[in-house]
Amino acid sequence: MVKIFQMFNKNKWMMLLVVSFLTIFTILYWFWQRTQQAENQCRHALVLKKEELEQEKVLRRALNISQMNAKELQVAYDALKTEPPATNFTVNAPSLEVASKQVVERINKQDTTLPPATLEKSDRTAVVKNDTEYKVDVLKINLDKSWEFSTGIGIHHGDTYIPVGVQRNYASNKALAAEIHLGLDDSTKAKIKTSGWEVKYVLRY
């Protein structure tokens, strides 16, 4: 029993390091999985009304995108009205509403009978029901990837450190952030050491 205790005491820092690494890895993997699930869910095609494209707040909520991306999408859609579509296809349905739902289902099922342009991988796919022109538009939307980088200066227990952070805004109100704290080694004052770190799941309002 004494030998076991001595062995544990001798290697406790190594064991603590291993446990810390496994904990950090598990947390990062969990956040990564959550991010992937959220992004995959957002990639599913959905039906939008033409009027919803003209209302920024409604558009942001419907597509789960940032204000910047919503504004850019509105501008892009206005420009597309004057251009010929990339491809045309016909859907047999009793109404535009039914046609829109059919197109969404076929896109989400990756129906290969649809034109390849409608099945291209994109961040968002919106099927716009246009009652004025009695047609359905398929919009393939690639968002501006919203990354944030930050740095500054901080003090903890009298020690000065420089926080360096990165944040990935993967939805209009959600983000994943990581930060490390860099400081000088007390023994040499010449080497940079990591004095702390943190990983955060951010809800944005």
**pLDDT tens digits for the chain (205 residues)?**
545 555 555 566 666 667 777 777 787 778 777 777 777 777 788 888 888 888 888 888 888 887 878 888 888 888 877 777 777 788 888 888 898 899 999 999 999 898 888 888 888 888 888 887 788 888 888 876 677 888 888 887 777 888 888 888 776 667 888 898 887 666 655 567 777 888 888 876 6
CB 69 within 8 A of CB 42: no
Q: Which amino acid is at 95?
A: S
Dist CA 12 CA 165 (whole Å): 30
Task: Give the Å distances, CA to CA, from 80 to 54, 74, 116, 139, 203.
Answer: 14, 10, 19, 10, 33
The DSSP string of 138-160 is EEEE-PPPEEEEEE--EEETTEE
Residues 96-110: tens digit of each pLDDT? 889 889 999 999 999
pLDDT at 132: 79
Would you state the structure tokens that stand for residue 95, as one six-digit string? 């109404």
Instruction: Please report the pLDDT score of residue 16 as a whole number.
Output: 67
Contacts of 45 (CB under 8 A, 6+ apart): 103, 104, 107, 108, 125, 126, 127, 138
Cα 84 from chain centroid (whole Å):
31
**pLDDT at 205 (0 to 100):** 62
Q: Copy the structure tokens of residue 166.
A: 């990165």
Q: Residue 48: count other Cβ atoms within 10 Å of its Cβ.
A: 21
Q: Tell me the pLDDT tens digit for each residue of 10-35.
A: 566 666 667 777 777 787 778 777 77
- Tokens representing 37 are 């699930």
Residues 10, 45: Cα–Cα separation, whole Å:
57
Q: Comparing C-alpha atoms, which of 164, 152, 150 is closest to residue 195?
A: 164
Token reading at 113: 């009978």
Residue 67: the pLDDT is: 80
> Cα–Cα distance between 150 and 181 in angstroms, integer?
12
- Name which of 146, 154, 180, 153 is nearest 165 in CA terms: 180
